[in-house]
Structure 1
Amino acid sequence: MNNLKYPIAAVWLINGLYCKVLNQVPRHQEIVGRILGTEHAALFTKLIGFAEIGMAVWIISGLRPRLNTIVQVVVIASMNLLEFILVPDLLLWGKFNAFFAFLFILLIGFTGLRRPATET
């Protein structure tokens, strides 16, 4: 990844730490509760948040960037598909969230899968 890795990592960090671990955006826990059940929604939301923080660290580390890119795309596409189908009413922009997820996937794919200028 190039210099866009920091803004991409920031998205994961903000969503993981601020929104989920610190529960500053309770809608995230509502989404998790609706999909996985309310009994352990707080725990699952925090675990997802820690995984997102881990993704941010992995992005910044630069280790296995192509694998990282593929994992990001799969996670974002899966997460947004589930939310689109199961809880569109809880999404910030409703079903239009899928459009923004698609744009983010394109950005990640473009920055993470293109060949560096030094490669032939």
Structure 2
Amino acid sequence: MKNSTLHKSLTYLIAIVWFVNGFFCKVLNLVPRHQEIVARILSEQHARMLTVLIGLSEVIMMIWILSRYKSRLNAWVQIIIIASMNLLETVLAPDLLLWGHWNIVFAGIFCMIIYYNQFILNPSNHQTPNK
């Protein structure tokens, strides 16, 4: 598979992860565990509203990824969000995570995929400037 094809495929895969976790898991509440995590970390009283807002933010992240607008900044924002969110969850709500303390490992792998896709595979990083 050519690098540009792999880059495009990984970009869509990463966007799908954000969409599924945001829309299906949080907005539609098909995975109630997400709302339980929000309740424990942020607020029991406002957990549903905050979960929906987080889910909508993840859908917006998907749109940003697919737009390719400022993709380098987007990649760093994704990595920072994933790392900080998973660190908080691992410390404050490990019993609610799908893989418990192993969640942070999978989050790290996902961050490495985002980094590899944006900074190694992205064909725009390898174009020579016109003279």
In 1, the alpha carbon distance for the partners of 2:73 and 2:67 equals 13
**1:83 and 2:93 aligned:** no
**1:18 and 2:46 aligned:** no
- Report Cα offsets for 1:62-118 as digits up to 9, x if no partner: 100000000000000000000010000000000000110000000001111226332
Q: Which has the larger radius of gyration?
A: 2
The answer for unaligned runs of 5 or more in structure 2 is none
**1:118 and 2:127 aligned:** yes
CA deviation after TM superposition for structure 1 residue 37, in Å = 1.6
RMSD: 1.4
TM-score by length of 1: 0.96
SS of structure 1 residue aligned to 2:14? helix
The answer for unaligned runs of 5 or more in structure 1 is none
- Report Cα offsets for 1:22-49 as digits up to 9, x if no partner: 0000000000000012100000000000
TM-score by length of 2: 0.88
After TM superposition, which residue ranges in structure 1, 4 or more long, deviate above 3 angstroms? none
Provide the aligned length of Structure 1 versus Structure 2: 120
Residues 30-109 of structure 1: pairs in structure 2 closer than 5 A: 30-109=36-115
